[in-house]
Amino acid sequence: MQIIRASEMGFCFGVRRAVDMMEEAVRERGDMVSLGSVVHNPQVVEKLRNDGLAVITDVAQAGDKPVAITAHGVGPDVIQVLEATGVEIIDTTCPIVTRSQQWARRLSEEGFAVVMFGDPNHKEMRGVQGWAKGHVLTVASEADVELLPEDFPSRVGVLSQTTETEARFASFVKKLFEVNIDRISELRVLNTLCHATTSQQAATIHLASQVSLIIVVGGRDSANTRHLAIVARECGAETYHIETADEIEPGWLAGHEKVGVTAGASTPDFVIDQVVSRLEELSA
């Protein structure tokens, strides 16, 4: 059995930068906290916890320790609360997420209602939504474009969760306009998709043309990892999403001559290497 790695996978620029910043901060300052997990990957979180970085879920839990904001970013209300307490803030928000936040603010300042395409419960989306003032709506699927509130302004700005697929975002924008064409006088579309994510998706599509089985490695809470699994399945490959090598079931490999491995943007290299080693063992 041949094992083929996707040409692009694993830690993206934003996650690598956030992890590096937190590792350096905890080395220099000692015990500190991060507001949420640094990335959606339990192995990375555990390693940082051992170094002294505890995860908190609410700003009220920060105490007087330095607080790291994760790559997904937060809304301005959270920053204000932290600043009011006087704690040191280490902001590792990915610059690409910061760009989405700035667009959300600018669109609403210019009088646009803001429609955001993505998961309303995802941390990045909750943070970006916080920067938009006035009319703002997060829509999770194309099927919900008819739910624009009655009082929604006719000038609409649209942006996307950074990890969405190009095809899904393009299709969403088309449907939004088609369904609401009588209510929208101006539509401004901001392409806030992350190039790192779209490159990994393109690499997964290419991988699916070479293999019949794809193992997608990454945290189950990681949106971009889940999207890779969706892309692989849509391409027709038998697909399994795992977090660690020990989840691989030998039976999955039966009948497959070529197996592909890809990984989400929050998956560290050592976890990918463990998966490839396990596949090599099972195919020996």
Binding site for ligand SF4 (CB under 6 A): 12-15, 71, 94, 96-97, 162-163, 194, 196-197, 224, 265
Residue (224 or 262) nearer to ligand SF4, CB: 224
Is 16 or 175 the residue whose CB approaches ligand SF4 more closely?
Answer: 16
| Residue nearest ligand SF4, Cβ-based | 14
Question: Which CB, 197 or 262, lies closer to ligand SF4?
Answer: 197
Q: How far is the CB of 210 from ligand SF4 (least distance, A)?
A: 24
Q: 124 an active-site residue?
A: yes
Task: Report the nearest approach of ligand SF4 to the CB of residue 163 (Å).
Answer: 6
**Distance of closest approach, residue 250 Cβ to ligand SF4, in angstroms:** 32
Residue 191: CB minimum distance to ligand SF4, A: 13
Contacts of 245-248 spanning 24+ positions with Cβ under 8 A: 245/271, 245/274, 245/275, 245/277, 245/278, 246/278, 248/215, 248/275, 248/278, 248/279, 248/282
Name the residue nearer to ligand SF4 (CB basis): 138 or 224: 224
Q: Which of the following is catalytic: 124, 164, 257, 281? A: 124
Shortest approach of ligand SF4 to residue 15 CB, angstroms? Answer: 5
Give whichever of 225 and 239 is closer to ligand SF4, judged by the CB atom. Answer: 225
Catalytic residues, which ones? 124
